[in-house]
Structure 1
Amino acid sequence: MKHIIITGTSRGIGESLANQLINPAHHLICISRTANEGLLARAKELDCHLDYFNYDLTDISGIEQLVENVFSRIELRSSDETIYLINNAAMLTPVSPIERLETEQIVENLHLNLLAPMVITSNFLRLTKHMNADKKILNISSASAKYILPSQSAYSTAKAGLDSFTKCIDIEQKLATYPAKAAAVYPGMIDTSLQSEIRSVSTELFPYVNEFIQLSEEGKLQSPEYTASKLIEILVSEDFGKTVLIETID
């Protein structure tokens, strides 16, 4: 049995990942602010094991208990089993020069994009430390961590931090008795709500908005379904973790 924890499954990549991973051999644990009724219905129709946790991951204080609750639904019986964590939940907003941002907007962005994956991962590793099983952590990062544009300081900073965090995990886990493997992936430019959000921003706040609109109009954005399939290929690969930062999924 593969136990797969995925955050941000209400829409976009997370929803596509969960849809493609619904399988009788998989136990999916989905986390998002609001439940995805479509995923729940499909899992029920196919008689697949899916647990759903409604939780706002910007509330860092409750994540430890959330992960405890998740693991109360997981039973690893042997080293043949696997447990994967996909830190996918993210937000792009606020898109604006830093001096125009409210403190609460900066905090919310960094909570969801960086602190939540760190705290989830910390508790995931703590609760699996003594488990001799196949353990993998896939962090969905962004090319924005490396290729910096104006008005995305919170998002880019958080994703750069997520990259560094993943590298730290890799180093630490090499010293563990039962190590987990970790990788961060830049999934590319995808036709999701995050892209819709940035296309709706004024040129005053984001000077490159017209370039993003053009990419969409020319059909150059990847679909969430294609992106999810490539991410799953990476996740299940025997080479997972050999490259800690994957900058392309093509």
Structure 2
Amino acid sequence: MIKAIVTGHSKGLGAALAADLLERGMAVLGIARGASGQTGAPGMTEVSLDLADSAALAFWLGGDSLRNWLADADTVLLINNAGTVLPVGPLSAQDPLAVARAVAVNVAAPLMLSAAMVQAMRPGAAGRIVHISSGAGRNAYPGWSVYCATKAALDLHASAAAQDANGDLRIVSLAPGVIDTDMQGQIRATAIEHFPLRQRFDALKQAGELAAPARVARQLVDYLMSKDFGRDPIADLRQLKAVRN
């Protein structure tokens, strides 16, 4: 049996990922602050957690819920999708509390969940972890110092973890491309003086060049389930050749 954990499953790419996994007959554990459109769907289990609250996440992980849910899984998938682009702007405009929240959501939660998943899997089970990264983790952009730094952290975590003796575990930090989600709306609503490159994203929206979440989700899960997954711990979905299962 294959079971999948998806963070930030209540909207955007996370919701599309949860829907795609359910359509493939997999049980899904969604972790987010709010419920999703899949609430009550067969195979769907939801946990209400604010991933910016590391203490609350640690408390939940310290219990038996995750281990019990994974007890009958032969393969476990973890998609660390939840993330925030805020705060945006130069250091002089960044709220330190917003910085802490971004580090908790973008870095601490994925790293905590990755370790907890591996420890909760039953002996002999296989695991696959994908961090949803970004081109911003591989290139510096003005106004995005926090976002760039946190996404770069995921890349290095995957690279280092892939060198450990992990048994049947594969891990990839994957940039999925520019997707038509609420985060893009936040970016387009940002003042130019805080994010000088905003016009680039305005143009992508106007030209209809933002990828649909459902299409990206399908491509991402195809790759996650393929024999190629994990070959390179840092990848870009747009640059992958046709996936071979």
Corresponding residue number in structure 1 for 2:69: 73
Does 2:91 align with 1:98?
Answer: yes
Q: In the TM superposition, what is the alpha-carbon distance from 1:85 to its structure 2 partner? A: 0.7
Query: Does structure 2 retain, via aligned residues, the 8 Å contact 1:64–1:120?
Result: no
Equivalent in 36, 55, 73 of residue 49 of structure 2 = 55
Cα distance in 2 between the residues matched to 1:82 and 1:248:
22
Cα distance in 2 between the residues matched to 1:51 and 1:96:
37
**Count of aligned positions:** 237
**Runs of 5+ unmatched residues, structure 1:** none
Q: 1:8–1:24: structure 2 CA closer, same or farther, 3 Å change rule?
A: same
Corresponding residue number in structure 2 for 1:247: 236
Aligned-residue sequence identity (percent) comes to 27
Cα distance in 2 between the residues matched to 1:65 and 1:240:
31
TM-score for the superposition, normalised by structure 1: 0.90
Aligned residue for 1:28, secondary structure, equals strand
Query: Does structure 2 retain, via aligned residues, the 8 Å contact 1:136–1:181?
Result: yes
Cα distance in 1 between the residues matched to 2:47 and 2:66:
8
Cα distance in 1 between the residues matched to 2:133 and 2:199:
24
**Runs of 5+ unmatched residues, structure 2:** 240-245
Q: 1:24–1:151: structure 2 CA closer, same or farther, 3 Å change rule?
A: closer
Cα distance in 1 between the residues matched to 2:43 and 2:95:
42
Q: Which amino acid aligns with 1:39?
A: Q
Cα distance in 2 between the residues matched to 1:121 and 1:149:
28
Query: Does structure 1 retain, via aligned residues, the 8 Å contact 2:70–2:120?
Result: no
Cα distance in 2 between the residues matched to 1:239 and 1:82:
16
TM-score for the superposition, normalised by structure 2: 0.92
Corresponding residue number in structure 1 for 2:127: 135
Cα distance in 1 between the residues matched to 2:67 and 2:25:
18
Does 2:113 align with 1:120?
Answer: yes
Query: Does structure 1 retain, via aligned residues, the 8 Å contact 2:29–2:44?
Result: yes
Corresponding residue number in structure 1 for 2:21: 21
Query: Does structure 1 retain, via aligned residues, the 8 Å contact 2:220–2:237?
Result: no
Query: Does structure 2 retain, via aligned residues, the 8 Å contact 1:198–1:209?
Result: yes
